Every structure is written in structure tokens, then in C-alpha cells.
Chains A and B, each alone.
Chain A
Amino acid sequence: MARRILLEHDNVPGIETFDVYRKNGGYRSVEKALKKMTPQEIVDEVQKSGLRGRGGAGFPTGMKWSFLAKPDGVPRYLLCNADESEPGTFKDRYLMEKIPHLLIEGMIVSSFALGANLSFIYIRGEYMWILEILEKAIAEAYANGFLGKNILGSGYDLDLRVAPGGGAYICGEETALIESLEGKRGNPRMKPPFPAVKGLWGCPTVVNNVESIAAVVPIINDGGDEYAKIGIGKSTGTKLISAGGNLARPGVYEIELGLSVEEFIYGDDYCRGIANGKKLKACIPGGSSVPILPAHLVTKTAEGLDRLMSYESLAEGGFVSGSMLGSGGFIVFDEDQCVVRNTWTFARFYAHESCGQCSPCREGTGWMEKVLNRLEHGQGNMRDIDLLAEINKKIEGNTICPLGDAAAWPVAAAIRHFREEFEWHVTNKEEAQTRNYGLLKASM
């Protein structure tokens, strides 16, 4: 099922240059869109494709576009979210580093569809060298008449800029991204109003993930219906998966949605199993925010069906026995790993990344981090475990933005599936300092 439509040319030497990219079929979608299609026809194709946002939430891209307000005389903006920061996720980076022109091509077509004449790629500040790659590619696109005034004689003007962040996970939340792009602290905004009505500088704005924008290119080249044939059910197309943790061959893979999880972890075309011949203990399939799954729920659902790499199958069983595809940050744990330590690092991450605006997140993420820190370091007691479960329930759903949920879910799932490992840290305080829990206890 290896299906490469985004990364088809990632290994072609020089693909980062305009000339090589163009020779390999690049910028065809711009020609087609600007010369033969109306903006509405492009939106229709994207809707037909069934493309869902690749940043994590999985909201249908075409529908998001259709919500964009179009008041007369007010500029509209398209912002590309390249603030890739969800632990476990490094796919956008790969795409931008390897094939920068694919993102630029997608930005041109998408901006045309939305009626934007000034668009931005907001990239996390740590990826500064990729910003340079993108700016070089953008300069080439200008020089070749694909950006700037009257692109390809169509009468359509577009300027494309890249703006860096400065180190803040929260700026991946679309309204925080907008605030940051306005030169402010990345505090998420209260919604409503949504960005589609009032976004960048108070104007209607769409924010899309790098991979979503890139996927617009094959959708326009081949048609939305063709794209929708790839994948399974409502999970259409391909998805970039960032595979990390204890895998024999970690890295970025493009998969057709619907591939079995078994094949992805163990298949020769993909991760080739767990590193060092060890056993699978657990997996977080969609980035740090989504629930962790114990080994027996990774490749099979609770009903014993094959678990597939799709929005639906990974969510099968809800939060009781399922998880989410999320951003496709696929983190694998081998048998020696400690779930409590990992949960603590995530709690620390979210406490570190909370903007501090609303009380449940500011106080709750810090509280969870401290309790988990104690548990991991042999200072916990049994009531701490229930306390954690209680705190995360009170953060979830009560915050301005989804960071609160993102912080709460991994803790809740870790306790749900690995409670005895938390308890072991309480009852074996000294041993917990010197040895990871691993599978040992479970197999005894």
C-alpha cells in the first residue's frame, strides 16, 4: 500500500530547486487553477476530496474554506501553520526541507481559491534553517512568475512571506498563531469570533497545516474525486506519519490511510519492528496529546478487529480503548520503557507550554507536573493517582483553547491503561529510582 503522492520526488537530487521541481511536474496545479478554474471550483474539488486537516484536529479542509467570510473591500488571509511542535511530530519539517516548492505551490493554489493576495507561512523559530530554505524557494517562484503581480498572466496577484515564531508550542493553535503573527504574545483568543470571520488584523482568515496545503496540489492535479478514492471511508488520501521512539527504522513515512498498524510497525516498507528486537509495550499514535494505547490495543481494537491507520479505526473504542490519528506523531515504546516517566515528561511539556492566560490550564498543568514529578521520583502516594485523574477532568473542556485537553488526555489515558505501573512507583519507591518498570512486573 505504499502510496507516495506528496513525497513522490523527495529523493530526486535538486528537488529543492525550482528547475528540478518544475521538470518533475511541479507547479502544474497553479497553471490549471489560475488558467482553467474559478476559485469556487477549487474549493469544490477540495470538498470533494474529503481532505481533513492534517495538523491534528482532522476538520474537513474544504468545509473550513467554505466558512471564510467574504465582505467587500476587506482583505482575506491564508496562513500556513508550520509551527510544528506537537511532541512526536516532525513530518512538516521533512516536507518543507525536502520539497519546499510543494508547499509554495499549494499556497498559491489555496490563496487563489480563498481570494487572498498576501499569505504567510508561520514557522516555528527553531526551524530557522528551513525558513531560509523556504525564502530561497519563494524567491525562485517570484523570479519565475509564479508569485507577485499578475501570475501567469491571470491577473491574480499574490505575495507570500515567511514569519518565524520564537519558541512556543501554543502558537500552533490557530488564534495564538494569529496573535503571534501580529507581533504579540501567543495567547489564544476567545471564540467566537472565529478566524474565518475575524482573524489576522481583524480580517477573515484561514489557517491550514503544511501537509493540508501540500495535499491541495495532487487534489487539483488529479481532481477531488480521484483523491477521495485513495484511503478508506472518510479517511481519504495519504498521510505523513512521523514515526519515533523505539522503532527499528524511525522516520517520516507517507502512507495510504487504511494501512494496518501491524504493517506500519513491522512491515519492511515501514518501521521494521521494535528496535533491538524488543517487544512492543505501548504506542501513542497521533502525537503527545492523544491517548496512549497498551500493546494489546495497538494492532487490534478491543473487539479484535485489525487496527488501521485511519481517523476512524484509531479512534475505535473511544477513550476507553481507542486513541486518535491526531497529527500522525507515532510514538512507540519498547518493553523497557516507563510510562510514568513518559507521562511526566509530557505533563512537564504542557506546563512549560501553557500560555498562562486561563486559570485551569495555568494552574492545572503545573499541578499535574508536580504530582507526576513526585510519583516518578519516589515521592508519591496512592491518593496522588486519583488526584491526577481528578485534576485532568477539571482542566478538560474548561479552558480557552485545546491545550488544556491536550494536557489532560495523556495523563488520563496513562492512568487508565497503566494504573498498576503508577501504583508500583508508590509501593517500590527505591526501585522506581533505579529501574524502569518495563514489562517485567506485568509478566510476573
Chain B
Amino acid sequence: MVKVTIDDIQIEVEEGTSILNAARQIGGEVVPPAMCYYSKLPGTGGKCRTCLVEVAAGSERDPRPMPKLVASCSTPVQDGMVVKNKTSEKVHDNRGAVVEFLLINHPLDCPVCDQAGECNLQDLGFEHGGAGTRYEEERRTFDPIDIGNKIKLHMNRCILCYRCVHVANQLTDKRVHGVLNRGEHAEISTYIENAIENDFSGNMIDVCPVGALTDKTFRFKSRVWFLKPMDATCGCTKCSGKAVVWMFGNEIYRVTARKDKYGEVEDQEDGKPAWICNDCRFDKKEIAHWMVEGPRKINRHSVISQGQYTSPRGNSQKKIANGN
């Protein structure tokens, strides 16, 4: 076990733990935001640079500060390391800059984007972004491509986190999409118009931090905050069968995996992530398909929780502070 101090809070973690995961063990505001890292998908991380933190002391043995900010998701802690996240002015400045970089070419089409209300980039912009933009150039756009009748790819919104590529590599037996071209022309694509269809491809939607990959069977049906998320199970043999059904009245509008407070798919009892298969996600839209367990607790201070759980004044605030 090694000791690490993050924003003046000390914690002991296993050797090899990343700074980000150590911060998640503490919880609360010391946790840096992560747009590309996804703990359930080995190999992700390091790209978006939103989780940059300052290392004020490298380790007990070598207490020199690190010269640059480091990506907390891919930097392992050392014994005696001192990390500053929210207590660092430099982190604050540079994270703001990263958010600006992520937004300069983003279409900001939240009013027509299905991800609105549960979008990590929206949250990030709200918490760390500036009010205006200094970008006067034409925004980048991509010719749309069709990747099948279940998933909509909206490349203009993509922040190139590579998570969906890892999903295809790790959950499906044949990857037909990837990152093509390079630099600011880099894009998620199949190159030839190829449908991304296999039993688990729908999980790309759940891991996408923005509205670049959305559910075609739910497209423009409703804003997410008008729906009531319910934990539900079905006896699926392909996948965990544990999902969230998003309901309006007695109708199921969409099905997603169960996500934790970091937006990641929850683990099952056996410790494996509860990915759901495409049958559960796209085809089981009847109430008879599911056994509803009860209302889903929405952890984040999102409009979804505000819409659904505003009980007597002050309570919703308390829920936010508790983190669940």
C-alpha cells in the first residue's frame, strides 16, 4: 500500500493505482473529470487531458514536484506523492483551456442533441468552461456516414476519446470502425459505409461521453429529463440482463446500461461490468419484457435528478452533496 495526498486529503491505496482512481476512492470534489478514461475498458485514457493534475511532490523518496501537469488517469501514484487538483490554480487554468479546446469545434447543438442532460461535455463546460468563445474560425464539420439502423454517428460532436473503439475491440469479435485520418481531420469512421452491428455494439452509445453516438431507436423521442429511469432486469442469456429502462408513463422509451456516478457501467455481482446486449437495448421496449425493480437513483447533479427527485425544498440539494 502507498500513501498519497490529494487536495490535502490523505489516502492509502494499492501500489500501481492511478492518481485518478486514488481520487475516486476519496470521492467528492477532489475527483478530476475524465472524458476519455473509462475504468472498465483497459487501455483508455490519457487523451482528453481534462484530468490533468499538479504533482507538488513526486514521492517520499524524491519529493521534487513534476514540471508539467500530468494526466491523472494514466499516472500511477508513488508513496508520499502530493497531488493538487481543485486546490491548484494551474490546474484550474489549464483545465479551462482544455475545455475551450474541446469546445472550439463542437457544434454546441445541445438543443437538438439527444445527449443533452446527460452529456459529460455539457457538465464539463458548465463546471470548468468560460462563458464566451474566442474562436472566430469556421467550425469543423464532417460528412455524415451511416453506420447502421441502430446507432447514429454524429461525428461533429465527437471529442475522439477512443472509448467506442475499445468497446469494439474488447466486447465484440470483429471491429469494423476505428479512428481514421489524423490531426484535426481525425474521425471515427468505418471508411466504407459499413453497419456496426453485433450483439454488443450498442454499448458504444453508453460509453460515448458526448452525443456522437446515440440510440437511433430513441432519436428525438424525448428529452431525457422528461423520462423516469427505472432499474429493471430481464432474463437475458446473452448479457447481464440488468438495465435501466427510461419510461414515460407506462411506455419504455429507451434502455441503457446501469451507470455509476462516473458515468461508467456498473459491475455485476461477479465483478464484471454489466454491459447489455443489443437485443435488450434496442428490441425490448415492451413493459412485459422487463421486471421493474424500482426508480433508478441518479447520482449526478444533473437535470435528470432535478426533474425526478425534487421533493421538499432543500432535499435535492442534500442529495447532490451526498453524491447519491
Q: B-contacting residues of A (Cβ < 8 Å)?
A: 168, 185, 190, 192, 351-360, 362-367, 370-371, 387, 394, 397-400
Partner of B183 from the list A353, A394, A399, A400 (CB cut-off 8 Å) is A353
Residues of chain B from 76 to 105 with CB closer than 8 A to chain A in the complex: 76, 94, 97-98, 100-102, 104-105
Alpha-carbon gap, A168 to B46, bound state (A): 21
> Hey, which chain A residues are within 8 Å of B221, CB to CB?
none
Partner of A400 from the list B46, B69, B97, B184 (CB cut-off 8 Å) is B46
> Hey, which chain B residues are within 8 Å of A192, CB to CB?
75-76
B171 to chain A, nearest CB (A): 20
Instruction: Check A394 against B185 for contact (C-beta < 8 Å).
Output: no
Instruction: Check A363 against B184 for contact (C-beta < 8 Å).
Output: yes
Whether A363 touches B71, Cβ cut-off 8 Å, given contacts A357-B47, A398-B52, is: no
> Hey, which chain A residues are within 8 Å of B68, CB to CB?
397-398
Instruction: Check A360 against B101 for contact (C-beta < 8 Å).
Output: yes
> Hey, which chain A residues are within 8 Å of B69, CB to CB?
397-398
Instruction: Check A356 against B101 for contact (C-beta < 8 Å).
Output: no
Alpha-carbon gap, A363 to B47, bound state (A): 12
Whether A355 touches B47, Cβ cut-off 8 Å, given contacts A360-B97, A394-B94, is: no
Instruction: Check B183 against A359 for contact (C-beta < 8 Å).
Output: no
Partner of A399 from the list B49, B137, B185 (CB cut-off 8 Å) is B49
Q: Is B45 an interface residue (CB 8 A)?
A: yes
Instruction: Check A398 against B45 for contact (C-beta < 8 Å).
Output: no
Instruction: Check A363 against B104 for contact (C-beta < 8 Å).
Output: yes
Q: Is B74 an interface residue (CB 8 A)?
A: yes
Partner of A362 from the list B46, B71, B75, B183 (CB cut-off 8 Å) is B183
B66 to chain A, nearest CB (A): 10
Instruction: Check A363 against B102 for contact (C-beta < 8 Å).
Output: yes
Whether A359 touches B47, Cβ cut-off 8 Å, given contacts A351-B184, A367-B104, A397-B69, is: yes
Whether A357 touches B134, Cβ cut-off 8 Å, given contacts A363-B105, A394-B101, A400-B46, is: no
Whether A190 touches B184, Cβ cut-off 8 Å, given contacts A357-B160, A360-B97, A370-B137, is: no
Q: Is B208 an interface residue (CB 8 A)?
A: no
A435 to chain B, nearest CB (A): 26
> Hey, which chain B residues are within 8 Å of A399, CB to CB?
49
Most buried by A among B67, B74, B97, B159: B97
Q: Is B1 an interface residue (CB 8 A)?
A: no
* A404 to chain B: closest residue by CB: B49
Alpha-carbon gap, A354 to B181, bound state (A): 11
* B140 to chain A: closest residue by CB: A366
Instruction: Check A398 against B46 for contact (C-beta < 8 Å).
Output: no
Instruction: Check A366 against B46 for contact (C-beta < 8 Å).
Output: no
Alpha-carbon gap, A358 to B75, bound state (A): 16
Q: A-contacting residues of B (Cβ < 8 Å)?
A: 45-50, 52, 67-69, 71, 74-76, 94, 97-98, 100-102, 104-105, 134-135, 137, 140, 159-160, 162, 179, 181-186
Whether A356 touches B160, Cβ cut-off 8 Å, given contacts A351-B183, A363-B102, A367-B104, is: yes
Partner of A366 from the list B47, B74, B75, B184 (CB cut-off 8 Å) is B184
* B99 to chain A: closest residue by CB: A359
* A356 to chain B: closest residue by CB: B186
B36 to chain A, nearest CB (A): 9
Alpha-carbon gap, A18 to B100, bound state (A): 57
Whether A366 touches B183, Cβ cut-off 8 Å, given contacts A356-B160, A358-B46, A358-B48, is: yes
* A363 to chain B: closest residue by CB: B101
> Hey, which chain A residues are within 8 Å of B46, CB to CB?
190, 358, 400
Alpha-carbon gap, A366 to B74, bound state (A): 26
Alpha-carbon gap, A366 to B102, bound state (A): 12
Some 23 contacts from A to B, beta carbons below 8 A apart, are A190-B71, A353-B183, A354-B183, A354-B184, A355-B182, A355-B183, A355-B186, A356-B182, A356-B183, A357-B162, A357-B186, A358-B47, A359-B47, A359-B98, A359-B102, A359-B159, A365-B184, A366-B140, A394-B97, A397-B69, A398-B49, A400-B47, A400-B71
Instruction: Check A359 against B101 for contact (C-beta < 8 Å).
Output: yes
> Hey, which chain A residues are within 8 Å of B45, CB to CB?
190
Whether A367 touches B135, Cβ cut-off 8 Å, given contacts A357-B47, A358-B49, is: yes
Whether A356 touches B48, Cβ cut-off 8 Å, given contacts A192-B76, A394-B101, A398-B97, is: no
Partner of B49 from the list A185, A355, A359, A365 (CB cut-off 8 Å) is A359
B47 to chain A, nearest CB (A): 5
Instruction: Check B186 against A362 for contact (C-beta < 8 Å).
Output: yes
A377 to chain B, nearest CB (A): 13
* A370 to chain B: closest residue by CB: B137
> Hey, which chain A residues are within 8 Å of B94, CB to CB?
394, 398
* A386 to chain B: closest residue by CB: B134
Alpha-carbon gap, A355 to B183, bound state (A): 5
> Hey, which chain B residues are within 8 Å of A352, CB to CB?
183
Given contacts A355-B182, A359-B49, 20 further A-B contacts (CB under 8 A): A190-B71, A192-B75, A353-B183, A355-B183, A355-B186, A356-B160, A356-B181, A356-B186, A358-B48, A359-B101, A360-B97, A362-B184, A364-B101, A366-B140, A387-B134, A394-B97, A397-B67, A398-B52, A398-B69, A398-B97
Instruction: Check B185 against A356 for contact (C-beta < 8 Å).
Output: yes
Alpha-carbon gap, A364 to B134, bound state (A): 12
> Hey, which chain A residues are within 8 Å of B101, CB to CB?
359-360, 362-364, 367, 394
A382 to chain B, nearest CB (A): 13
